[in-house]
Amino acid sequence: MKAVRFSRFGGPGVLEIVELPDPRPGPGEVRIAVRAAGVNPSDWKKRQGLMDGELPQTLGHEAAGVVDQLGQGVADVAVGDRVFGFSAEGAAQAELAVLSHYAPIPPSVDFPGAAALPAAVETATRSLDQLGVGSGGTLLINGASGSVGSAAVQLAVVRGTLVIGTASPSNHDYLRSLGAEPVAYGEGLTERVRALAPDGVDVALDVAGSGVLPELIDLAGGAEHVVTVADFGGAQEHGVRFSSGDGGRALHALGEIGALIESGRFSLPVARTFPLTEVAEAHRTSERGHPRGKLVLLVD
């Protein structure tokens, strides 16, 4: 099969499309013919050598496609079913991928839209669970217009929470459409949030990693009320919880998101798609900033 791989660290030019052996699903796993695979900032961080120092490396933790092999004991899907989910091997940007956790693709969602879901939905759900977000209260999300941020906005609104989200002014109408009260990034953030919530907020989630943890701690009344998924160093410095899959993942979210999508209470836009052969350009786009929605690779 063809797959994305790099054998040395560096810029997007180190990415290659190589031939690798076809993977085989283990017990409880399924193999899919990949139709679409999500691109995440962790991809280019790994490529630059900022994460996972081993070489060579394949890429891709989330994909959508058609089941073509079942692992031992799998009885909840059949060959030919459309599914989306996670590749434990981190090799989903390929023609074939083994999914360790998966769910049926909602009827109204195409393959690119399904490939955009796993990481954003799991990360958002895990963070909200760790913050204890439920009915009532106010949540501040720093970086609310990206894929994880917009997922967190919608899931928090479904739980009955008032959401304030930071974003650039060009994304404020988008946040309002998701049910959040938008505020601008930058100097004066604390004052802008307090104009909407004079007593501060109950909890805060940092998705952007833009160095605002002290402000979030102040607004939420303590480091114990703040979670970041993007600022590991800041979390250590300020005593904030850094949320990662290493501490337990909210995999239940994969099976729950379909009902919210079909009821019109959740959507996650695909910002741009690229053929698998243009993975380097997808990395460049990801490194340039935070597009509204997800970047997705398409596999013929």
Query: pLDDT value at position 209?
Result: 87
Instruction: Indicate whether 92 and 180 sit together in one domain.
Output: no
Could you tell me the residue range of the domain that residue 71 belongs to? 2-116+269-298
Instruction: Indicate whether 232 and 275 sit together in one domain.
Output: no
Instruction: Indicate whether 190 and 208 sit together in one domain.
Output: yes
Instruction: Indicate whether 168 and 199 sit together in one domain.
Output: yes
> Which letter, b or e, does each residue of 70-89 get, where b requires 16 or more Cβ atoms within 10 Å of its Cβ?
bbeebeebeeebbbbbbbeb
In a domain, 261, yes or no: no
6, β-bridge pairs? 57
Name residues of the chain where pLDDT drops below 70.
246-247, 290-291
Please answer whether residues 71 and 58 qualify as being in contact, where contact means their C-beta atoms are separated by less than 8 angstroms.
no
Instruction: Indicate whether 89 and 140 sit together in one domain.
Output: no
Question: What ranges in the chain are assigned the alpha helix state H?
Answer: 41-47, 111-115, 117-131, 147-159, 172-178, 189-196, 213-220, 232-238, 252-262, 279-288
- How many structural domains comprise the chain? 2
**Domain containing 141 — which CATH number?**
3.40.50.720
Instruction: Indicate whether 147 and 210 sit together in one domain.
Output: yes
Instruction: Indicate whether 129 and 236 sit together in one domain.
Output: yes
**Domain containing 275 — which CATH number?**
3.90.180.10
In a domain, 17, yes or no: yes
Q: Which of 284, 254, 276, 267 is nearest to 36 (CA)?
A: 276
For 240-293, what is each residue's pLDDT tens digit? 999 987 667 899 999 999 999 999 999 999 999 999 999 999 999 998 875 678
Instruction: Indicate whether 76 and 112 sit together in one domain.
Output: yes
Instruction: Indicate whether 228 and 143 sit together in one domain.
Output: yes
In a domain, 260, yes or no: no
Instruction: Indicate whether 147 and 169 sit together in one domain.
Output: yes
In a domain, 263, yes or no: no
Phi, psi of 103 (to 5 degrees): -155, 160
For 206-247, what is each residue's pLDDT tens digit? 999 889 999 999 999 999 999 999 999 999 999 999 998 766
Structure letter (DSSP) for residue 207: S
Query: pLDDT value at position 134?
Result: 92
Query: pLDDT value at position 88?
Result: 87
In a domain, 90, yes or no: yes
Query: pLDDT value at position 244?
Result: 84
Instruction: Indicate whether 132 and 86 sit together in one domain.
Output: no
Q: Which of 16, 23, 101 is nearest to 63 (CA)?
A: 101
Distant-in-sequence, close-in-space partners of 253: CB < 8 Å, separation ≥ 6: 121, 122, 124, 125, 126
In a domain, 45, yes or no: yes
Query: pLDDT value at position 290?
Result: 59
User: In the sheet that 16-19 helps form, which strands lie side by side, from edge to edge?
Assistant: 16-19, 2-6, 57-58
CA separation, residue 240 to residues 211, 212, 216, 256 (Å): 12, 12, 10, 28
Instruction: Indicate whether 162 and 135 sit together in one domain.
Output: yes
In a domain, 255, yes or no: no
> Other C-beta atoms within 10 Å of 206: how many?
29
In a domain, 257, yes or no: no
Structure letter (DSSP) for residue 67: E
- What global pTM score does this model have? 0.94
